[in-house]
Amino acid sequence: MKAIEVKCLEHKFQDSSKISICGMEFHADLGETVALIGQNGSGKTTLFFHVVGLLTPSGGSVRVLGADVNSPGFEKARRNVGMVFQEVESQLIGPTVWDDIAFAPFNAGWAKKDVEAGVEEMMGHFGISHLADRVPHYLSGGEKKKVALAGTMVMRPKILLLDEPFAHLDPSSKRDLIRHIEHYRAEGDKCVLITEHDLGTIHLLSDRVYLLEKGKGMTFEGTPEQLMEDRDALSRADIEIPELDELFMRLRKEGYKVKVPKTAEEALQALKKMRK
Ligand SMILES: Nc1ncnc2c1ncn2[C@@H]1O[C@H](COP(=O)(O)OP(=O)(O)OP(=O)(O)O)[C@@H](O)[C@H]1O
Ligand SMILES: [Mg+2]
């Protein structure tokens, strides 16, 4: 069963403007991390909102864990989906950080001690234990993001949607979050969907990438390596190739049998092998 399947989605907004995500079908499976890229306004967030059931399609179909978002069966599937919004402000609802992270577990009927353990664990993961009693509304952008991540990931959803999760995070917080996501996807039965503009991060985290273009729908699907080889798709996505990846792409063109490394360590090992 596919975790997410999107076919020719059309959405009519209240002001009667329309967005169409037709063309190539979009799907994501449990066990994979898929990046969704595209220029501002291409419809990435709109697509995510459909997957969590916040919007209803006016055309086409969106299926989550086999259930159409328009069907009664979706309510059950919906419980397996968690999303961290691009604008996290709107999803922080608890009077304190602790309450906010505990909200979904309490709502799901967890026992008090399980909620306490889950909240403590998440606050520890995201380095926000010292913010437990603070009012979420008054936190900084990066702090709010971490609270929203903790409040979503505490439920360990099968499908995790991260809409530009690295915005507002400083470099060490970004590294921490990358580690958490890697840890999360290593559990094997999770589907992580991520929107991101940095190709290095996409390469590091995702198994496949889709490019969404306004008015055209999905116009590329492939691995991050295939995306790097597709200059045209990169330019349509308005994404730059990192210098290190560029160097290794050129080495491949020169006939060197090297993989494009995901980290400086991998690059170093590849260069050492070449010297031998
Ligand atoms: N509530 C709304 N009413 C009318 N138009 C909307 C609404 N929400 C989004 N849109 C329009 O739909 C299009 C897609 O918006 P969306 O937020 O999905 O893009 P995005 O790819 O996530 O962009 P970004 O990279 O800036 O986050 C945009 O042109 C936007 O103006
Ligand atoms: Mg967006």
What are the pLDDT digits (tens) for 112-132? 999 999 999 999 999 999 999
If pLDDT is split at 50, 70 and 90, which confidence band does 176 have?
A: confident
Atom 31 (ligand 1) nearest CA: 41
In single-letter form, the type of residue at position 58 comes to: S
In single-letter form, the type of residue at position 156 comes to: R
Closest ligand 1 atom to residue 14 Cα is: 3
Cα–Cα distance between 116 and 213 in angstroms, integer?
A: 43
- Contacts of the segment 214-218: beta carbons below 8 A, 24+ positions apart: 214/19, 214/38, 214/39, 214/41, 214/42, 214/43, 215/20, 216/23, 217/8, 217/20, 217/21, 217/22, 217/23, 217/24, 218/21, 218/23, 218/24, 218/25, 218/26
- Whether 90 shows a pLDDT value over 80: the answer reads yes
- Using alpha carbons, list the distances in angstroms from residue 227 to 33, 61, 203: 15, 27, 9
At residue 246, the pLDDT reads 87
Q: Could you list which residues have their CB under 5 Å from ion ligand 2? A: 44-45, 86
At residue 98, the pLDDT reads 98
Atom 27 (ligand 1) nearest CA: 40
Mutate to test the pocket of ligand 1, among 40, 90, 236 (most ligand atoms within 8 A of CB): 40
At residue 222, the pLDDT reads 97
- Whether 241 shows a pLDDT value over 90: the answer reads no
Domains and CATH numbers, the chain: 4-238 (3.40.50.300), 242-276 (no CATH)
Judge contact between 115 and 106, C-beta under 8 A: yes
At residue 211, the pLDDT reads 95
Going from the Cα of 270 to the center of ligand 1, the distance in angstroms, rounded, reads 42
Task: Find the mean pLDDT for residues 262-268.
Answer: 89
Going from the Cα of 54 to the center of ligand 2, the distance in angstroms, rounded, reads 14
Q: What is the pLDDT of residues 152-164, one digit of tens each?
A: 999 999 999 999 9
At residue 199, the pLDDT reads 92
Task: Find the mean pLDDT for residues 228-233.
Answer: 90
The percentage of the chain sitting over the pLDDT mark of 90, rounded to a whole number, equals: 72
Closest ligand 1 atom to residue 48 Cα is: 18
Going from the Cα of 87 to the center of ligand 2, the distance in angstroms, rounded, reads 9
At residue 245, the pLDDT reads 86
**pTM across the whole model:** 0.92
Going from the Cα of 110 to the center of ligand 2, the distance in angstroms, rounded, reads 32
Average pLDDT value over all residues in the chain? 93
Atom 3 (ligand 1) nearest CA: 13
At residue 57, the pLDDT reads 94
- Whether 1 shows a pLDDT value over 80: the answer reads no
Please measure the distance between the N-terminal and C-terminal CA atoms of the chain and give it in whole angstroms. 46
Q: How many CB atoms lie within 10 A of CB 156?
A: 13
Pocket of ligand 1 (CB under 6 A): 13, 15, 17, 19, 38, 40-46, 86
